[in-house]
Amino acid sequence: MTDTPEHANKPANMQWGGRFAGGPSAIMQDINASIGFDRKLWRQDIRGSRAHAAMLAKIGLLTPEDEHAITTGLEGIAQEIEAGTFAFDVALEDIHMNIEARLTDRIGEAGKRLHTARSRNDQVATDFRLWVRDAIDGLSAQISGTMLALAQRAALHAADPMPGFTHLQTAQPVTFGHHMLAYVEMLDRDRGRLADCRRRLNACPLGSAALAGTSFPIDRHMTAAALGFDRPTANSLDAVSDRDFAMEFLSAAAIGAVHLSRLAEEIVIWCSAPYRFIRLSDAFTTGSSIMPQKRNPDAAELVRAKTGRVTGALVALLIVMKGLPLAYAKDMQEDKEPVFDAAEAWALSLAATAGMVRDMTPDTVRMRSFAGSGFATATDLADWLVRVLRLPFRSAHHVTGRLVAMAEARGVDLAELSLADMQGVEQGITADIFSVLTVEASVASRTSYGGTAPANVAEQAARWLAVLA
C-alpha cells in the first residue's frame, strides 16, 4: 500500500477553476493564506467591487439587474462583517475570495460575473492603495491634533526660559515655548511627506488585470473617479507590481516616529529627578512593583520604543521588494502586515504624545534656574564685544573664553565677575556688559526670524494656532 499525499483527496480551491485536481497541503494552505491579516481591507475591497460593477454595467458587461444584485449583496456582506457574523474561511486564502464566495452564496450566478475584466493582482493593488490613503488621512488629522497641543503649550510658555542644549550640554537660554514649536515644525514636515505620498499614490490600478490589461472595453477613468483617484495608472505592469506608495508611506512613518521618539526622550529626561522640568500625572505614568516612590514616564518610553517597530516595518518591506522582477509575485503578500502594524503604532504614539503634551505640568521656576547654568550667556557676552567694542568675532570668542575660564576657576557665574575682573581681560568692557548677562536679556535679544525671543515665539504660536484650530 502506497502512501497517499495529505492533499490528494481534498477538492481544489473553487476559485482556481479546473487547473488543479487536488487541494493544497496544510502547510501550503497556511503559508499561502493572507485572510488572517488582509481582512483589514474589507471596506476597500467592497468599495472597489461596487465601483467595478457599476463600470461593467455601464459598458454592458453586466445587466442592470446583476449590478443591483451585486451592490445589494455587497452591502449585506458589509453588514455581516460589521456585525461580526461573517465567516472568514482560510481555504479561500484572502479577503477578495472570501467576499466573492459569500457574494455568490447570497445572489447566485450574478456573483460570478463580478470578476470580469479584473484580477486579484489589480484588485489588491487598488484595495491597498485605498487603505493607505485612508490611513494617511487619519494620521494627518492626528498629526495636526498633536501640533495643536504643542502650539497651545508654546503660546502658554512663550516667555518662560529654559536651558537650550547642544551635545546635551547647556548652550544658550531658549524659551519652553520655542522648544515646543520646534516639534511643531517637525510634525508639519511629517504632514507634508504624507501629503506628497498621497498625491503620488492617488492613481487607480483597477482594470490593469493580472499584468497586461484586458481585452474588454472597460472605462478605467470611470472607476478611478468613483474611487476618488485622480487618474488611472498608465502602465498595467507597473500598476500591479508597484508598492512604492507603501514604502513611501513607511518612510514617512519612520521619520515621523523618530520625531516623536526625540520628544519622548526629552520628556523622559525632563521628568527625571536631576532635572524635574516637568511632571506627568497618573494618566501617563506608572509605578514600580518594589519602589513605592517611583513615577515612571512609561508612555514616553513606549513611544520611544515603538520607533523600532515602525522603522523595522520599512526595512522589512524594502527587503521584500528589492529583488522582485515584474510583475506580481506572491512575495508581495508580505507587504501589508508591516504597513498595518506601522500605521497602528504611529497612530498610538501620536495619541500618547498629544496626551502627554496636554498633561504635563512644567516647573518654570526650575527651568529658569537651569537656563543660566553652565555659562549659558557666554555667547551674549561675545556678541556684546562685537556689537559695542567692534571686536572681530574670533577675538571676542577668545576674550569670552578667558572670562569663562576665570569664572569657572572661582566657582561663580559670569555675571558675578567684577567689572575690574573683566577689564583685566579686555580693558574696553564697560558696566553695560551686565545688561546682557541675564537669562531674560539673552532670550529677548534673539529677535532674528525664527529666534527664541518671546515676541517671536508668541507670534509663531499664534500663527500656528490660527492654522490648526
Give catalytic residues, as residue numbers.
167, 288
Strands 161-166 and 203-204: unpaired
Q: In the 8-state DSSP scheme, what is residue 174?
A: E
CB count within 10 Å of CB 438 equals: 17
What is d(CA 376, CA 373) in angstroms, rounded to the nearest whole number? 6
| Consecutive H or E run containing 231 | strand 231-232
DSSP assignments along 384-409, one per residue: HHHHHH---HHHHHHHHHHHHHHHHH
What is d(CA 330, CA 32) in angstroms, rounded to the nearest whole number? 8
Residue type, 194: L
Counting Cβ atoms within 10 Å, is residue 12 exposed (0-12), middle (13-18) or buried (19+)?
middle
* Main-chain dihedrals φ then ψ at residue 211, nearest 5 degrees: -170, -20
Of 230, 216, 233, residue with least CA distance to 327: 233
Q: In the 8-state DSSP scheme, what is residue 100?
A: H
The C-alpha cell of 282 is what?
497618573
Residue identified by cell 492626528 is 142
| Residue 278, helix vs strand vs coil | strand
Residue identified by cell 555675571 is 415
Inter-helix orientation angle 454-468/176-201, to 10°:
40
* Main-chain dihedrals φ then ψ at residue 278, nearest 5 degrees: -135, 165
The C-alpha cell of 435 is what?
545688561
The partner residues of 231 in beta bridges, in order of sequence, read 203
Residue identified by cell 498629544 is 354
The partner residues of 166 in beta bridges, in order of sequence, read 169
